[in-house]
C-alpha cells in the first residue's frame, strides 16, 4: 500500500505540474491573441493614415504605442508613455514572427509582469511598429489560485485514497490472513483439517482450494510414508529376528550346534534380507519422482529372455509356450528379467500344479506392443482385490500370505518396472482370453504384461 500511495503521490505531483503549466500556457495564448487583435486593428489605422490621438484601447490594463524605425513614438494610448518606447531595440528584435516578450510592469505603470507584442505597420518607405502591452496580473492570479487549490486538494485526496486503499486492501487480505492462521495451526499440530475457503469466487478462493488439495496430498503422502516405514521395519525385523534366534540357539548349544545347517539358514535369511532391501531401495527411488534415463535400453528378444528366466524354476514345473519366431520388444534387459522373475516367484509360490508362461506376439503390421502372460493354477485373486495387490506390502487373507514367504513388494515392483518400460500390467482369471472375457471355469490367475514392440530390430 505504501508503494501504491507513493506512486499515486508522484503521479498527482506530475499531473499537477503539467496542469499548472498547461493552464499558464493557455492563458498566455489568450492574452497574446487579444493583444495581436488590438495591434492588427491599430496597424490597419496606420496603413490608412488615420491614427487617432490618443489611440483607443479596451481596458485599463492595456498600453499601445506606435513607433517609427528610430524608436520615436508617433502615437500612444491615453495611459501610455509618449517619450520612452515600451521596448528597446534588443527587446524589439526578439518580437519577430509575431511573438511576445515579458517586461516588468513598473516600466509602463502596470502591476505584475506585462506581455508585449509587436506588429509591423505603415508604408514600406516609412516602416512603423505597433506595440501592445497587456498586464498578466489576472493570468498570474488564476495560475496561483489553481496552484493553491492543487496544493490543498491533492494532499487531502491522497489521504482519502490512502484510507480507502487501506480499508480495501485490508478487506481483500483478510481471507489471506485467515489462510495463514489456519496454516500455522495445521503445521503447528494444533489441529488437523483444511484451510478455510472464502465464499468469494476469486483468486483467494482458488488459492484456498489449491492449498487444501496440496494439504490432502501431503497428508496422504505422510500416511503412506508412515505405513511404508512401519511395514518396511516389520519386514526387516522378521529375517533379523530369525537370524538372532538361530545364533542364540547355536550359542546355547555350543559344541552340539550343527554349524553347516545354521550357516545355510543364515545364508537364506541374509538373501531374503538383501532382496528385501533391494526392493525397498528400488521403490524408494521410484517415489522421488526424479526422471532417470534408461540404462541399456534397446531391442530385447523376449522369447530367449523368458526361457532363460523359466529355467531357474524346476519345481513346480514352469512351462513356456513360445511363438514360432523371435519377438522383439523395447526395454531394459535387467528390468524385464526382474519383472519375469517376480511374476514367476509369485506364480510358483501359489501354483498347485504348474505355471505356464506364454509369449503372444501381435500382428507385425502396425503393432506397437507384444503380450506376455504368466498363468498359475493356484487359488487366484478375487476381482475386487486385483488393483489393491499392486500396492506395497499388500497381502490377502487367503493363501497369498506372509507365511508363503512373500514380502508384498513383488507386484508393486512389477508395475513400477513395466511402467518405466512404457508398458502395462493387469490381472485376469486363468480361463479368460486376452481381452478379459471368461472362457472357462476353474481356479487360477493370469498376469498379462504388455510391452512396447521394438521400433527397429537389430541387424
- Domain 298-452 sits in CATH 3.90.550.10: no
List the grid coordinates of 430: 486363468
Residue 329: name the closest of 312, 304, 355 by CA.
304
The answer to whether the beta carbons of residues 375 and 303 sit under 8 Å apart is no
The answer to whether the beta carbons of residues 87 and 118 sit under 8 Å apart is yes
| Nearest-angstrom CA–CA distance, 289 and 283 | 11
| Nearest-angstrom CA–CA distance, 249 and 303 | 47
Residue listed under C-alpha cell 513360445: 322
| Nearest-angstrom CA–CA distance, 370 and 449 | 8
CATH number for the segment(s) 203-287 = 1.10.287.130
Q: What is the pLDDT of residue 99?
A: 80
Q: What is the pLDDT of residue 152?
A: 92
CA-based R_g, the chain, Å:
51
Residue 284: name the closest of 239, 229, 230, 338 by CA.
229
Name residues whose C-beta falls within 8 Å of residue 448's C-beta, 6 or more positions apart in sequence: 371, 372, 373, 425, 426, 427, 428, 434
Residue 92: name the closest of 41, 125, 141, 130 by CA.
130
| Nearest-angstrom CA–CA distance, 347 and 446 | 9
Q: What is the pLDDT of residue 432?
A: 61
- Domain 2-142 sits in CATH 3.30.1070: no
Q: What is the pLDDT of residue 18?
A: 94
List the grid coordinates of 275: 532382496
- Its sign, for the CA torsion 384, 387, 390, 392, is negative
Q: What is the 3-state secondary structure (H, E, C) of the chain?
A: CHHHHHHHHHHHHHHHHHHHHHHHHHHHHHHHHHHHHHHHHHHHHHHCCCCCCCECCCCCCEEEEEEECCCCEEEEECCCCCCCCCCCHHHHHCCCCCCEEEEEHHHCCCCCEEEEEEEEECCCCCCEEEEEEEECHHHHHHHHHHHHHHHHHHHHHHHHHHHHHHHHHHHHHHHHHHHHHHHHHHHCCCCCCCCCCCCCCCHHHHHHHHHHHHHHHHHHHHHHHHHHHHHHHHHHHHHHHHHHHHHHHHHHHHHHCCHHHHHHHHHHHHHHHHHHHHHHHHHHHHHCCCCCCCCCCEEEEHHHHHHHHHCCCCCCCEEEECCCCCCEEEECHHHHHHHHHHHHHHHHHHCCCCEEEEEECCCCCCCCEEEEEEEECCCCCCHHHCCHHHCCCCCCCCCCCHHHCCCCCHHHHHHHHHHHCCCEEEEEECCECCCCCECCCCCCEEEEEEEEECCCCCC
Q: What is the pLDDT of residue 408?
A: 65
Cis-peptide into 414, omega within 30 deg: no
Q: What is the pLDDT of residue 58?
A: 77
Q: How far is CA 342 from CA 295, 384, 412, in A?
A: 20, 22, 10
| Nearest-angstrom CA–CA distance, 240 and 176 | 52
Q: Where are the domains of the chain?
A: 2-142, 203-287, 298-452
> Residues of 92-109 as b/e, b for ≥16 C-beta within 10 angstroms?
beebeeeebbebebeebe
Provide the angle, in degrees to the nearest 10, between the axes of the packed helices 302-310 and 333-350: 40
The answer to whether the beta carbons of residues 446 and 430 sit under 8 Å apart is yes
| Nearest-angstrom CA–CA distance, 414 and 339 | 5
| Nearest-angstrom CA–CA distance, 100 and 131 | 10
pLDDT along the chain (459 residues), means of 10: 88 92 91 89 86 81 88 88 87 81 86 89 87 89 92 91 88 82 74 75 83 83 76 72 83 82 83 75 64 63 89 80 87 86 85 88 70 88 80 58 55 84 87 51 78 74
| Nearest-angstrom CA–CA distance, 444 and 29 | 103
Q: How far is CA 326 from CA 304, 329, 453, in A?
A: 8, 10, 12
Amino acid at each position: 500500500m505504501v508503494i501504491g500511495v507513493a506512486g499515486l503521490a508522484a503521479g498527482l505531483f506530475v499531473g499537477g505540474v503539467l496542469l499548472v503549466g498547461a493552464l499558464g500556457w493557455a492563458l498566455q495564448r489568450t492574452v497574446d491573441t487579444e493583444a495581436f487583435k488590438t495591434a492588427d486593428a491599430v496597424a490597419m489605422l496606420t496603413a490608412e493614415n488615420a491614427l487617432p490621438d490618443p489611440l483607443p484601447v479596451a481596458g485599463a490594463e492595456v498600453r499601445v504605442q506606435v513607433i517609427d524605425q528610430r524608436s520615436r513614438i508617433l502615437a500612444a494610448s491615453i495611459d501610455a508613455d509618449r517619450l520612452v518606447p515600451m521596448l528597446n531595440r534588443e527587446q524589439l528584435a526578439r518580437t519577430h514572427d509575431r511573438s511576445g516578450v515579458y517586461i516588468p510592469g513598473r516600466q509602463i505603470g502596470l502591476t505584475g509582469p506585462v506581455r508585449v507584442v509587436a506588429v509591423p505597420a505603415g508604408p514600406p518607405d516609412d516602416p512603423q511598429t505597433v506595440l501592445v502591452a497587456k498586464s498578466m496580473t489576472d493570468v498570474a492570479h488564476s495560475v496561483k489560485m489553481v496552484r493553491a487549490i492543487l496544493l490543498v486538494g491533492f494532499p487531502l485526496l491522497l489521504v482519502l485514497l490512502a484510507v480507502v486503499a487501506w480499508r480495501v486492501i485490508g478487506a481483500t487480505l483478510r481471507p489471506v490472513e485467515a489462510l495463514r492462521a489456519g496454516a500455522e495451526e495445521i503445521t503447528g499440530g494444533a489441529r488437523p483439517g483444511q484451510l478455510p475457503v472464502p465464499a468469494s469466487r476469486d483468486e483467494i478462493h482458488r488459492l484456498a482450494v489449491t492449498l487444501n488439495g496440496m494439504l490432502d496430498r501431503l497428508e496422504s503422502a505422510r500416511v503412506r510414508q508412515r505405513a511404508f516405514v512401519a511395514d518396511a521395519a516389520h519386514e526387516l525385523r522378521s529375517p533379523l529376528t530369525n537370524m538372532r534366534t538361530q545364533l542364540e540357539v547355536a550359542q546355547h548349544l555350543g559344541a552340539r550346534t550343527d554349524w553347516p545347517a545354521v550357516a545355510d539358514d543364515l545364508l537364506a535369511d541374509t538373501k531374503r534380507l538383501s532382496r528385501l532391501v533391494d526392493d525397498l531401495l528400488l521403490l524408494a527411488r521410484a517415489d522421488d519422482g526424479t526422471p532417470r534415463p534408461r540404462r541399456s535400453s534397446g531391442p530385447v528378444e523376449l522369447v530367449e529372455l523368458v526361457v532363460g528366466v523359466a529355467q531357474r524354476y524346476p519345481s513346480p514345473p514352469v512351462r513356456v509356450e513360445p511363438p514360432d519366431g523371435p519377438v522383439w520388444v523395447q526395454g531394459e534387459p535387467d528390468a524385464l528379467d526382474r519383472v519375469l522373475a517376480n511374476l514367476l516367484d509369485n506364480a510358483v509360490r501359489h501354483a498347485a500344479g504348474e505355471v505356464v508362461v506364454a509369449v503372444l506376439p501381435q500382428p507385425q503390421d502396425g503393432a506397437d506392443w507384444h503380450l506376455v502372460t504368466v498363468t498359475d493354477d493356484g487359488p487366484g485373486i478375487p476381482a475386487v482385490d486385483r488393483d489393491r495387490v499392486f500396492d506395497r506390502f499388500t497381502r490377502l487373507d487367503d493363501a497369498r500370505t506372509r507365511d508363503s514367504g512373500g514380502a508384498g513388494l513383488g507386484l508393486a515392483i512389477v508395475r513400477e518396472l513395466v511402467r518405466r518400460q512404457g508398458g502395462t500390467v493387469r490381472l485376469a482369471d486363468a480361463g479368460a482370453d486376452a481381452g478379459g472375457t471368461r472362457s472357462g471355469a476353474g481356479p487360477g490367475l493370469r498376469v498379462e504384461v504388455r510391452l512396447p514392440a521394438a521400433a527397429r530390430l537389430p541387424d
